[in-house]
Structure 1
Amino acid sequence: MQKKKPLNVAIGCRIQFSREQAGMTQEQLAEKINRSTQFVSTIERGIAGASLETIVSLCDALCVSSEWLLRGQEPTPTADYIAAKLVGLSTEELISMNKLVNDLLDMLHAGRRQF
Protein backbone atom coordinates (compact mmCIF):
# COMPACT_ATOMS: atom_id res chain seq x y z
CA MET A 1 0.00 0.00 0.00
CA GLN A 2 1.30 3.44 -0.98
CA LYS A 3 1.96 5.93 1.82
CA LYS A 4 -0.33 8.97 1.87
CA LYS A 5 1.33 12.30 1.17
CA PRO A 6 0.79 14.82 3.98
CA LEU A 7 -0.28 17.53 1.52
CA ASN A 8 -2.95 15.27 -0.02
CA VAL A 9 -4.23 14.40 3.46
CA ALA A 10 -4.42 18.09 4.47
CA ILE A 11 -6.20 19.09 1.26
CA GLY A 12 -8.55 16.12 1.59
CA CYS A 13 -9.47 17.18 5.14
CA ARG A 14 -10.24 20.71 3.94
CA ILE A 15 -12.36 19.35 1.08
CA GLN A 16 -14.33 17.20 3.50
CA PHE A 17 -14.73 20.06 5.99
CA SER A 18 -15.88 22.44 3.24
CA ARG A 19 -18.29 19.88 1.83
CA GLU A 20 -19.81 19.29 5.25
CA GLN A 21 -20.04 23.05 5.90
CA ALA A 22 -21.89 23.37 2.60
CA GLY A 23 -24.32 20.65 3.74
CA MET A 24 -23.40 18.37 0.85
CA THR A 25 -22.96 14.63 0.71
CA GLN A 26 -20.08 13.06 -1.19
CA GLU A 27 -22.61 12.04 -3.81
CA GLN A 28 -23.83 15.61 -4.26
CA LEU A 29 -20.28 16.96 -4.53
CA ALA A 30 -19.34 14.23 -6.99
CA GLU A 31 -22.30 15.19 -9.17
CA LYS A 32 -21.36 18.89 -9.07
CA ILE A 33 -17.79 18.20 -10.21
CA ASN A 34 -18.77 15.44 -12.64
CA ARG A 35 -16.82 12.73 -10.84
CA SER A 36 -17.68 9.53 -8.99
CA THR A 37 -18.47 9.31 -5.30
CA GLN A 38 -15.51 6.92 -4.97
CA PHE A 39 -13.24 9.61 -6.46
CA VAL A 40 -14.45 12.20 -3.90
CA SER A 41 -13.91 9.68 -1.10
CA THR A 42 -10.40 8.89 -2.32
CA ILE A 43 -9.47 12.59 -2.49
CA GLU A 44 -10.99 13.38 0.91
CA ARG A 45 -9.06 10.54 2.54
CA GLY A 46 -5.81 11.81 0.99
CA ILE A 47 -5.20 8.56 -0.85
CA ALA A 48 -4.69 10.49 -4.09
CA GLY A 49 -4.10 14.08 -5.07
CA ALA A 50 -6.43 16.15 -7.22
CA SER A 51 -5.50 17.69 -10.55
CA LEU A 52 -5.52 21.45 -10.96
CA GLU A 53 -8.73 21.16 -13.02
CA THR A 54 -10.36 19.20 -10.19
CA ILE A 55 -9.18 21.71 -7.57
CA VAL A 56 -10.80 24.53 -9.57
CA SER A 57 -14.02 22.52 -9.88
CA LEU A 58 -14.00 21.79 -6.15
CA CYS A 59 -13.44 25.46 -5.28
CA ASP A 60 -16.39 26.45 -7.48
CA ALA A 61 -18.67 23.71 -6.17
CA LEU A 62 -17.83 24.39 -2.52
CA CYS A 63 -17.65 28.20 -2.83
CA VAL A 64 -14.19 28.25 -1.30
CA SER A 65 -10.95 29.82 -2.43
CA SER A 66 -7.94 27.96 -3.75
CA GLU A 67 -5.95 29.56 -0.91
CA TRP A 68 -8.21 27.77 1.56
CA LEU A 69 -8.26 24.43 -0.23
CA LEU A 70 -4.54 24.27 -0.98
CA ARG A 71 -2.98 26.09 1.96
CA GLY A 72 -5.65 26.37 4.63
CA GLN A 73 -5.60 30.16 4.44
CA GLU A 74 -8.71 32.26 4.08
CA PRO A 75 -8.32 35.02 1.50
CA THR A 76 -9.22 38.61 2.13
CA PRO A 77 -12.88 38.59 1.12
CA THR A 78 -13.99 40.59 -1.89
CA ALA A 79 -17.56 41.55 -2.78
CA ASP A 80 -17.60 38.79 -5.41
CA TYR A 81 -16.34 36.23 -2.88
CA ILE A 82 -19.06 37.20 -0.41
CA ALA A 83 -21.73 37.27 -3.14
CA ALA A 84 -20.77 33.73 -4.20
CA LYS A 85 -21.48 32.54 -0.65
CA LEU A 86 -25.05 33.91 -0.91
CA VAL A 87 -25.96 32.06 -4.10
CA GLY A 88 -28.76 29.62 -3.55
CA LEU A 89 -30.26 31.28 -0.49
CA SER A 90 -34.01 31.74 -0.43
CA THR A 91 -35.58 35.20 -0.57
CA GLU A 92 -36.29 35.01 3.16
CA GLU A 93 -32.70 34.02 3.90
CA LEU A 94 -31.41 36.88 1.73
CA ILE A 95 -33.63 39.35 3.58
CA SER A 96 -32.24 38.07 6.89
CA MET A 97 -28.67 38.30 5.59
CA ASN A 98 -29.29 41.85 4.37
CA LYS A 99 -30.54 42.88 7.81
CA LEU A 100 -27.60 41.18 9.49
CA VAL A 101 -25.10 42.89 7.17
CA ASN A 102 -26.73 46.28 7.72
CA ASP A 103 -26.64 45.77 11.50
CA LEU A 104 -22.98 44.75 11.38
CA LEU A 105 -22.06 47.74 9.22
CA ASP A 106 -23.87 50.06 11.62
CA MET A 107 -21.90 48.57 14.51
CA LEU A 108 -18.61 48.90 12.63
CA HIS A 109 -19.27 52.50 11.72
CA ALA A 110 -20.32 53.30 15.30
CA GLY A 111 -17.10 51.71 16.57
CA ARG A 112 -14.97 53.78 14.22
CA ARG A 113 -16.54 56.98 15.51
CA GLN A 114 -15.60 56.05 19.09
CA PHE A 115 -11.88 55.88 18.38
Structure 2
Amino acid sequence: MQGKKPLNIAIGRRIQQSREQAGLTQEELAERIDRSTQFISTIERGLAGPSLETVIHLCEVLGTSTEWILRGRALLPDSNLLAASVMEKLSGLSPAQLLLVDRMTSDLIKLLQMKESGDE
Protein backbone atom coordinates (compact mmCIF):
# COMPACT_ATOMS: atom_id res chain seq x y z
CA MET A 1 0.00 0.00 0.00
CA GLN A 2 1.27 3.46 -0.85
CA GLY A 3 1.91 6.02 1.86
CA LYS A 4 -0.58 8.74 2.59
CA LYS A 5 -0.61 11.58 0.11
CA PRO A 6 -0.09 15.02 1.67
CA LEU A 7 -3.12 16.43 -0.17
CA ASN A 8 -5.39 13.65 1.15
CA ILE A 9 -4.10 14.25 4.68
CA ALA A 10 -4.79 18.01 4.43
CA ILE A 11 -8.26 17.48 2.95
CA GLY A 12 -9.07 14.88 5.60
CA ARG A 13 -8.06 17.25 8.39
CA ARG A 14 -10.20 20.04 6.99
CA ILE A 15 -13.18 17.70 6.63
CA GLN A 16 -12.73 16.57 10.23
CA GLN A 17 -12.41 20.16 11.45
CA SER A 18 -15.53 21.20 9.52
CA ARG A 19 -17.45 18.19 10.83
CA GLU A 20 -16.49 19.00 14.42
CA GLN A 21 -17.40 22.67 13.95
CA ALA A 22 -20.77 21.53 12.63
CA GLY A 23 -21.22 19.49 15.81
CA LEU A 24 -21.51 16.18 13.96
CA THR A 25 -20.07 12.79 14.78
CA GLN A 26 -18.57 10.64 12.05
CA GLU A 27 -21.69 8.50 12.26
CA GLU A 28 -24.03 11.46 11.78
CA LEU A 29 -22.03 12.79 8.84
CA ALA A 30 -21.90 9.36 7.23
CA GLU A 31 -25.66 9.05 7.54
CA ARG A 32 -26.26 12.48 6.01
CA ILE A 33 -24.14 11.71 2.95
CA ASP A 34 -25.29 8.09 2.69
CA ARG A 35 -21.86 6.58 3.32
CA SER A 36 -20.35 4.37 6.01
CA THR A 37 -18.65 5.59 9.16
CA GLN A 38 -15.57 3.69 7.97
CA PHE A 39 -15.60 5.77 4.77
CA ILE A 40 -15.61 9.03 6.78
CA SER A 41 -12.83 7.73 9.02
CA THR A 42 -10.73 6.70 6.02
CA ILE A 43 -11.13 10.13 4.41
CA GLU A 44 -10.45 12.06 7.63
CA ARG A 45 -7.27 10.06 8.27
CA GLY A 46 -6.03 10.83 4.75
CA LEU A 47 -5.90 7.18 3.72
CA ALA A 48 -7.93 8.00 0.60
CA GLY A 49 -9.19 11.11 -1.12
CA PRO A 50 -12.89 11.79 -1.64
CA SER A 51 -14.33 12.12 -5.12
CA LEU A 52 -15.33 15.56 -6.32
CA GLU A 53 -18.98 14.57 -6.02
CA THR A 54 -18.39 13.56 -2.39
CA VAL A 55 -16.53 16.80 -1.63
CA ILE A 56 -19.46 18.82 -2.97
CA HIS A 57 -21.95 16.80 -0.92
CA LEU A 58 -19.78 17.13 2.20
CA CYS A 59 -19.59 20.90 1.73
CA GLU A 60 -23.37 21.16 1.41
CA VAL A 61 -23.92 19.14 4.59
CA LEU A 62 -21.14 20.85 6.56
CA GLY A 63 -22.01 24.37 5.40
CA THR A 64 -18.49 25.04 4.14
CA SER A 65 -16.91 25.79 0.78
CA THR A 66 -15.07 23.54 -1.62
CA GLU A 67 -12.33 26.17 -1.59
CA TRP A 68 -11.80 25.48 2.13
CA ILE A 69 -11.95 21.69 1.89
CA LEU A 70 -9.75 21.39 -1.20
CA ARG A 71 -7.33 24.27 -0.81
CA GLY A 72 -7.55 25.40 2.80
CA ARG A 73 -8.68 28.88 1.87
CA ALA A 74 -11.40 30.11 4.12
CA LEU A 75 -14.28 31.92 2.51
CA LEU A 76 -17.26 33.43 4.18
CA PRO A 77 -19.94 30.78 4.54
CA ASP A 78 -22.48 30.71 1.75
CA SER A 79 -25.61 32.17 3.32
CA ASN A 80 -27.84 29.94 1.16
CA LEU A 81 -26.06 26.81 2.40
CA LEU A 82 -26.29 28.01 5.99
CA ALA A 83 -29.97 28.82 5.64
CA ALA A 84 -30.65 25.40 4.13
CA SER A 85 -28.73 23.75 6.95
CA VAL A 86 -30.72 25.65 9.58
CA MET A 87 -34.01 24.85 7.86
CA GLU A 88 -33.11 21.15 7.76
CA LYS A 89 -32.39 21.19 11.48
CA LEU A 90 -35.66 22.96 12.27
CA SER A 91 -37.89 20.92 9.98
CA GLY A 92 -38.63 18.17 12.51
CA LEU A 93 -39.47 20.42 15.45
CA SER A 94 -42.93 20.98 16.85
CA PRO A 95 -44.45 24.48 16.91
CA ALA A 96 -43.66 24.76 20.64
CA GLN A 97 -40.06 23.75 20.02
CA LEU A 98 -39.78 26.25 17.17
CA LEU A 99 -41.02 29.01 19.46
CA LEU A 100 -38.38 28.06 22.02
CA VAL A 101 -35.65 28.05 19.35
CA ASP A 102 -36.82 31.48 18.19
CA ARG A 103 -36.58 32.89 21.72
CA MET A 104 -33.19 31.30 22.30
CA THR A 105 -31.90 32.63 18.97
CA SER A 106 -33.03 36.16 19.85
CA ASP A 107 -31.29 35.92 23.21
CA LEU A 108 -28.13 34.54 21.65
CA ILE A 109 -28.01 37.33 19.08
CA LYS A 110 -28.36 39.92 21.86
CA LEU A 111 -25.49 38.29 23.78
CA LEU A 112 -23.28 38.24 20.70
CA GLN A 113 -24.01 41.89 19.99
CA MET A 114 -23.21 42.80 23.60
CA LYS A 115 -19.94 40.90 23.42
CA GLU A 116 -18.95 42.66 20.19
CA SER A 117 -19.67 46.06 21.64
CA GLY A 118 -17.77 45.26 24.86
CA ASP A 119 -20.82 45.64 27.12
CA GLU A 120 -20.50 42.25 28.77
TM-score band by shorter chain is 0.7 to 0.9
Q: Is there any run of 5+ residues in structure 1 with no aligned partner, and where?
A: 109-115
Partner in structure 2 of residue 39 of structure 1: 39
Q: Given the superposition, is the C-alpha separation of residues 57 and 21 from structure 1 closer, same or farther in structure 2, using an over 3 Å criterion? A: same
CA-based RMSD of the aligned residues comes to: 2.5
Q: Given the superposition, is the C-alpha separation of residues 27 and 82 from structure 1 closer, same or farther in structure 2, using an over 3 Å criterion? A: closer
Aligned residues: 106
Partners of 1:79 and 1:63 lie apart in 2 by 9
Q: Is there any run of 5+ residues in structure 2 with no aligned partner, and where?
A: 91-96
Determine what percentage of the aligned residue pairs are the same residue.
Answer: 54
TM-score where L is the length of structure 1: 0.74
Determine if contact 2:60/2:81 at 8 Å carries over to the other structure: no
Q: Given the superposition, is the C-alpha separation of residues 79 and 44 from structure 1 closer, same or farther in structure 2, using an over 3 Å criterion? A: closer
Q: CA deviation at 1:101?
A: 5.4
Determine if contact 1:86/1:94 at 8 Å carries over to the other structure: no
Partner in structure 1 of residue 54 of structure 2: 54
Q: How does 1:4-83 map to 2 (within 5 A)?
A: 4-83=4-83
Give the letter for the 1:65 counterpart. Answer: S
TM-score where L is the length of structure 2: 0.71
Determine if contact 1:59/1:66 at 8 Å carries over to the other structure: yes
